[in-house]
Amino acid sequence: MKKATVVLGLGNPLMADEGIGVYLVDRLVSAAERCSGVDFIDAGTGGMSVLHLIEGRGKAIFIDCAFMNEVPGTLRRFTPEEVRSTKVLAHQSLHDADLLRILSLAEQLGQCPEEVVIFGIQPEVVEMRQGLSVSLMDKTEYYLSEILSELDV
Amino acid sequence: MAKTVNVNVHHVTRVEGHGNIVVNATDGQIEKVEWQVPEAPRFFEAMVRGRSYEDIQTIVSRICGICSITHSLASTKAVEKAMGIEVSEQADKVRILMHYSEQLQSHILHVGYLVSPDLFGLPSVVPLAAKAPEVVLAVIRVHRLANEWSDLIAGRTTHPVTLKPGGMTKFPSEKQLRDLQERLKKGVADLKAVAEAVLSAAGAIPDFTRETEYVSLKQDTPPTYTFYHGDITSTDYAGTVGINDWKTVANEYVNDQSTAKWTKWHRPSYAVGALARYNNNAELLSPLAQDIAKMFAMEKGCCNPYMNNVAQVVECVHVVETSIQMIDELLTTGIKNEKVKVTPKAGKASGCVEAPRGILFHEYEFDRKGNCVGADICIPTNQNHASIQEDFEKLVPEILDEGEDAIRLKMEMLVRSYDPCISCSTHMLDVQFVK
C-alpha cells in the first residue's frame, strides 16, 4: 500500500557526490518509524521509473545532486516551478531522464502529486569513485534535519 | 542535384551522453560522415578490484539504471562460474523471470517514450501524451507492470537486492507468483495496443538496409529464444563460441573517433540487440510474439537497423507470454525455501547475458579469499558503435538530396534505433532559478 508521502533519493553512489540522494535516503530509513505516512525509496538512476513511484501520492520529496551555481555543499529547497532545466544532454533518454521533464509528463498525464519539493545539493566532486566529498559529508546531519522538518518530524 | 550539406549534431537528443553526428558534403561530394563518441571513459572495472565476490553484483548494478538487473546477473554468473558454484533450477528460473522484467521495462520505455515521438513526428513524449494519450497511457501501464514485476522478484524496481552468488536471498511466494501471472495475462491487451499503435505509424520507419553481421546468444538445449543461457553466435557463423572466449568475438579496438572501444568479428562491424537476437533465434519466439512479427512483415534476416525497435515490441510480447508459462512451471513444482552456502575460491571466468540493448560480457578473476583481482566489462553499446558508423556511411549518400533537416532526423533516429546507453551512470539536476 502506497503511503501519502514519498521521499525519493536519486543518484549514483559510484559517482562520488552524485550519490548524495541515495546516501541520505538510506540514512532516513531509520527515521521511518517516526514517519508512518512516508515511504523512503532509493530510486538510484532508474529515470522514468520515478513516474510510478510518485503516482497516487499527495506529496513527493526528491533529494538529488544539483548543479545550481552555488558553493559546494549548499542545500536548496525548491519546487519544479521555481527552476528551469539547463541540462543539455538529457532529453528523455532512458538512461538519464531529466527529473523536471519527468515531472512535466506526470503533470500532463494527471499523475503528479499535488505537492512536489526538491532538495538540491550542490556537489563538489562528480567522478568515478565511491564516497562523498568532505564538503557534503560534513553537512549530512544538517541535510537530514532540513528534510525531516519538511516531514514535520 | 549537387548538394552542400553540413550536419553537426552535438549530443543527440533523447540519447544520454555525448554522441555527435557530423556530416560534411560540398557540391554532392561527401567529405566526412562520422559517429563520434567523445565522452570520458569510465573505469568501473577498477572499482571492483579488491572487493569481495559477494559485493560485485551490488556495485555493478549501479553501472546503469536501466540495465541494473542485467549487469547484476552477468556478474553473478561470472562469479559462480569462476568458483564452480551450482545454482538450483528454481533459482535459475526465478532469475530468468527477473531478467525478463527488465527486458520489458527497458523495451517499453524505449519504444514508448523515445521512438514513438519520432514515428508520430513529435519532438518528445510530452506532446505525444497530448496527441495520443491512450497510447501513452497503455505504455505507462505496461511500464508500471514491468516495474512492479521487478520489484517483486528483484526486491526493488532498479538495482536488485535479491541476487547472491549461488542463488537468491528471497523467493516470491506462490500467491505472489499467481497474482503476477494474472497481471501479465491482463497486460497482453496493452501490449497488443502498443504494437497496433507502432504499426499505425510504421510508415515513418525509414526504408534502409545494409548487410550486417548480428551477434547474440544462442541456446540449443533446450532450444530457447534466449536472453540468459547459451553461447555466442552470429548471422555470419553457423556454430557457437563459448562465453569464456568472448574476446575472440569482440576483438575490441580503439578508434580515433571515439573514446569508447569499438568491436568487430567477421566484418568490420557487427550489431547487437533485439534485432540481432531476432535474426539468430526468431523461430523460437512465443506464438503471440511470432504473430506480432508477422503483423510488421518482419522476417529473419532483416537488415534494416530501424527495425530493431519493432524487434523490441516483439520481444516485449515474448517475455510476457513466456513468463506466464514459466510461472505455471514454478507453481507446479512449488516454491521451496533454499539456503545457499558458498565457500570462495580462486578462479577466473566470464558471465554473459543479453541486456535489452544487446549482448553483455563480464569477466572477473578472484584470489583464494574471493577478492576480485581483475575485471573486464564489454557493454553492448560499444559493440554497436562501428555498426552505427557503417550505417551512416551507407545511409548518407542515399538521402543526401533530402536536405539537412531530413538527414539530421534520419541519422538521429538511426542512433536512437540502436537504443544506446552511452553514459547512464549519472542523473544529477542542472538548473537555473527563475523565481
Q: Hey, which residues does B372 pair with through a beta bridge?
A: B366
Answer CATH for A5-150 from 3.40.50.1450, 3.30.230.10, 3.30.565.10, 3.40.1190.20: 3.40.50.1450
Residue B434 domain-assigned (yes or no): no
A-B CB pairs within 8 A amount to 192
State residue A102's pLDDT score. 86
State residue B406's pLDDT score. 92
CB atoms under 10 Å from CB of B182, counted, come to: 12
Q: How many domains would you assign to chain B?
A: 1
- Would you call B287 an interface residue with chain A, using a CB distance cutoff of 8 Å? no
3-state secondary structure of A63: strand
- Which chain B residues have a beta carbon less than 8 Å from that of A85? 429-431
State residue A35's pLDDT score. 84
In whole angstroms, give the CA distance from residue B275 to residue A131.
Answer: 39
Residue B155 domain-assigned (yes or no): yes
CB atoms under 10 Å from CB of B380, counted, come to: 27
| Confidence band for A97, pLDDT divided at 50, 70 and 90 | low
- Which chain B residues have a beta carbon less than 8 Å from that of A86? 430-432
Q: Give A27-65 pLDDT, tens digit per residue.
A: 998 877 788 899 999 988 877 889 889 999 999 999 999
- Which chain B residues have a beta carbon less than 8 Å from that of A66? 428-431
pLDDT of residue A122 exceeding 70, the answer is yes
Query: What is the helix (H) or strand (E) element at residue A99, kind and residue range?
Result: helix A99-108
State residue B8's pLDDT score. 74
Contact check, Cβ <8 Å, A92/B113: yes
Mutate to test the interface with A, among B13, B139, B430 (most CBs of A within 10 A): B430
Q: Which of B194, B140, B97, B103 is nearest to B419 (CA)?
A: B103
Contact check, Cβ <8 Å, B433/A126: no
- Which chain B residues have a beta carbon less than 8 Å from that of A67? 428-431
Do the bridges between strand B29-36 and strand B20-26 make them parallel or antiparallel, or are there none, so unpaired? Answer: antiparallel
- Which chain B residues have a beta carbon less than 8 Å from that of A96? 16-17, 65, 423-424, 426-427
State residue A148's pLDDT score. 94
Please give the residue range of the domain that contains residue B287: 45-386
Contact B189, B201 (CB under 8 A): no
> What is the greatest pairwise CA distance in chain B?
72
In whole angstroms, give the CA distance from residue B66 to residue A48.
Answer: 9
Contact check, Cβ <8 Å, B435/A96: no
Mean pLDDT computed over every residue of chain A: 88
Kindly state the cell numbers that stand for B85. Answer: 558454484
Q: Distance from A58 to chain B by nearest Cα, in Å?
A: 19
Contact A64, A118 (CB under 8 A): yes
Contact check, Cβ <8 Å, B15/A93: yes
Q: Chunk chain B into consecutive blocks of 10 residues (it has 435) and report each block's average pLDDT, rounded to whole numbers.
A: 70 54 89 80 80 94 86 97 97 98 95 90 84 90 94 85 94 97 97 96 96 98 98 98 98 84 95 98 98 97 98 98 98 94 96 97 97 93 93 96 91 90 56 67
Contact A114, B419 (CB under 8 A): no
State residue B399's pLDDT score. 95
Do the bridges between strand B20-26 and strand B5-9 make them parallel or antiparallel, or are there none, so unpaired? Answer: antiparallel
pLDDT of residue A89 exceeding 50, the answer is no
The residue of chain B with its CA nearest to that of A130 is B47
The residue of chain A with its CA nearest to that of B423 is A95
Q: Which of A70, A94, A92, A73 is nearest to A83 (CA)?
A: A70
Give me the residues of A, 34-63, that contact B with CB < 8 A: 41-49, 51-53, 55
* Non-local CB neighbours of B30 within 8 Å, separated by 6+ positions: B23, B24, B396, B397, B400
State residue A91's pLDDT score. 41
State residue B156's pLDDT score. 78
Residue B91 domain-assigned (yes or no): yes
CATH number of the domain where residue B119 is located: 1.10.645.10
